[in-house]
Structure 1
Amino acid sequence: MPTTAVLVHDCGNPLAKTGELGEGLDSSSQCGLDRDPFDFICDHLMVHEAATGKLAGTYRMQSGYRAKGNLGYYGEQFFDFRPFEPLRSEVLELGRACVHEKYRNTSVLHMLWKGIARYSQSCGARYLIGCRSLSSQDEDEGMALYETLREKYLAAPSLRTRPVEGRQCKPSGTHAAPPRPPRLFRAYLDISVRVCGPPAIDREFKTIDFLTLVDLQALPNRVRTRFF
């Protein structure tokens, strides 16, 4: 499926009615829209099907400096971002990813990531930071997945953090098998994403969120050649 990618500045969520990879706010259900104030602050990368012009997918992004001058980082609602303050000029926060169910294949995701790579170069970003979600409210499952991920994917000590007060996952002590990460999460793991610490619980979206980071200067060659 031939596709084209464009960047739209400061718009509302252009794929709001398609659902965000199966996630949504209860408060949005009546109007069929998923939107929040960050939609009108961030830039939106959009992939269209070339033959029809139909919108296939979007990614929401904002630089560290844009975050500072507006609403802050989206992830600050869930995680302590103080360890990343010295890196603000090199941070690009990746927000909501949205792919229409008809186009949920690797080619659309590949196009989005190529666009992110180009955008990161244009704004001098080194670190891509964002929340990767598990569709669960089971805090035991969340911590079980974290214990599995930390063995291979834990970020360097200087890039680690923790959930803010009230967002911590508090396991019951009952053993839980680690769930399989969702498709988008697995795709990030494949490009050497790092997990910045224990997950946070999001009661609105009914997810368990992991703050993740990609250091573009540490990308394996196999990843760099795919996207840069």
Structure 2
Amino acid sequence: MAGGTTTRIDTVTNAERGQSNTPKFSLQLGVFAADFASGTDQMEAVQRLRAMRFRAHAASGDLDRFDALSEHLMITVPPDRAAIGVARLRILTTPEDILSCYSGQFYDLAELARSGRRLVEVGRICIDENHAQDVDVARVLLASLARITSDYSADMLIGCASFPGAEPARHRNALNYLFDRHPGPANVKPGRRAGLNHVLTDGDHTPQATDLREVPALLRLYLGLGGWVSDHAICDHDLDTVHVFTAVEVASIPRARMRALKALARDDVR
């Protein structure tokens, strides 16, 4: 960096995470490989990409308290060890896990915690700018999520799907579309947590099919899998985003799509 400054990337090792007994995961599709990061070098690669995409190369990286509780998916093009895509995943098996997860900071997940579902929380998804438009990287990510969901017998994928820019007015049409066309079921959808800046539906705009174009690609992908969203969004000024709670129930994924994902996930090298 300019001026001879050294950028420091904080890392979390497997030992610190206490997850040495976690089942191994490895998948290869074409030139791409996906694995759970392990060891300091791989966690540094994960943090380097996250710092670049979420924090504009911030010297402190992008670590938070949830990293130590999570697995970190890393997509590479061997033999190059640089991460071109990453995602953070946490298996939530108890009501306490669900209530205290990353998404639980922003959304009241009490009904979901009482549902008895086994969840995989997915977050911090980012792709290197040189591969951002590469559909094959998205295929690797989806295949990986399909395998991990199957390996952990998960009922649902959850997370916070983000719009860039913590300015709700910029995302007005897309948010109205989501709240109108893809609301979550009443028995498990999140409630509103006190003290947060909630973004609600705007009755002055009638949602149109064209509004879907303004929804981020990753969230459109989740909707295509049968996903649903909360009835409100949250402004996250820390990451400069507006996000909605998003869930994909495994049982609701169209059968043909699930068969295709499982076929991709089986094409792996262990």
CA root-mean-square deviation: 3.1
- Which is higher, the Rg of structure 1 or of structure 2? 2
Q: Distance in 1 between matches of 2:162 and 2:139?
A: 19
1:69 Cα deviation (Å)? Answer: 5.9
Aligned partner of 1:133 in structure 2 is 162
Aligned partner of 2:106 in structure 1 is 78
Secondary structure of residue in 2 paired with 1:114: helix
The number of residues matched between the two structures is 225
1:10 Cα deviation (Å)? Answer: 9.0
Q: Distance in 1 between matches of 2:180 and 2:172?
A: 13
C-alpha spacing 1:195/1:70, structure 2 compared with 1 (3 Å): closer
Contact 2:109 2:189 in 1 (8 A): no
Aligned partner of 1:205 in structure 2 is 239
1:199 Cα deviation (Å)? Answer: 0.7
Contact 1:20 1:99 in 2 (8 A): no
Q: TM-score normalized by structure 1?
A: 0.83
Q: Distance in 1 between matches of 2:103 and 2:87?
A: 15
Aligned partner of 1:226 in structure 2 is 260
Aligned partner of 2:74 in structure 1 is 46
Aligned partner of 2:214 in structure 1 is 180
Aligned-partner residue type, residue 65 of structure 1: T
Gaps of 5+ in 1: none
Contact 2:50 2:124 in 1 (8 A): no
Aligned partner of 2:54 in structure 1 is 23
Aligned-partner residue type, residue 198 of structure 2: C
Contact 1:60 1:94 in 2 (8 A): yes
Q: Spell out the pairing of 1:1-228 with structure 2 (5 A cutoff).
A: 2-8=31-37, 12=43, 14-19=45-50, 22-24=53-55, 29=58, 31=59, 33-65=61-93, 68=96, 72-87=100-115, 89-104=117-132, 105-142=134-171, 144-169=173-198, 180-228=214-262
Q: TM-score normalized by structure 2?
A: 0.72
Contact 1:43 1:62 in 2 (8 A): yes
1:219 Cα deviation (Å)? Answer: 0.7
Secondary structure of residue in 2 paired with 1:211: strand
Secondary structure of residue in 1 paired with 2:138: helix
Contact 1:48 1:56 in 2 (8 A): yes
Secondary structure of residue in 2 paired with 1:37: coil
1:58 Cα deviation (Å)? Answer: 1.2
Q: Distance in 1 between matches of 2:186 and 2:99?
A: 27
